[in-house]
Copies of this chain bind each other. A is one copy, B any other.
Amino acid sequence: MLYLVRMDVNLPHDMPAAQADDIKAREKAYAQQLQHEGKWQQLYRVVGEYANYSIFDVGSHDELHTLLSGLPLFPYMKIHVTPLAKHPSSIR
């Protein structure tokens, strides 16, 4: 099942650079792992913002929440999830 997910990241300004870099590195590895597994289907940067739009393809709400709440950046994110259904005009 497909979900459109918007993630806005808001790291505290006073977080030490090393700590921030570490979280970002773990976040990247985590995201790429899920992409390779086909669960994190698409990941785009919102132009001009520390935010992304992603499309996830997973089997249930619980699975999606487990994946999202496991993001290293999760505590610093505002996330909004929109469930997507098949559009009658879609040729896919």
Expressed in whole angstroms, the Cα–Cα distance for A26 and B76 within the complex equals 23
With most chain B CB atoms within 10 A of its CB, the pick from A15, A66, A83 is A83
What's the least CB distance linking A91 to chain B, in Å?
5
Expressed in whole angstroms, the Cα–Cα distance for A25 and B14 within the complex equals 21
Known contacts A4-B53, A13-B75; A42/B92 CB under 8 A:
yes
With most chain B CB atoms within 10 A of its CB, the pick from A43, A45, A62 is A45
What's the least CB distance linking A3 to chain B, in Å?
8
Expressed in whole angstroms, the Cα–Cα distance for A31 and B91 within the complex equals 9
Known contacts A53-B4, A76-B13; A61/B83 CB under 8 A:
yes
Binding site for B on A (CB under 8 A): 1-5, 11-15, 27-28, 31-32, 35-36, 42-50, 52-53, 55, 60-62, 64-66, 68-69, 75-76, 79-92
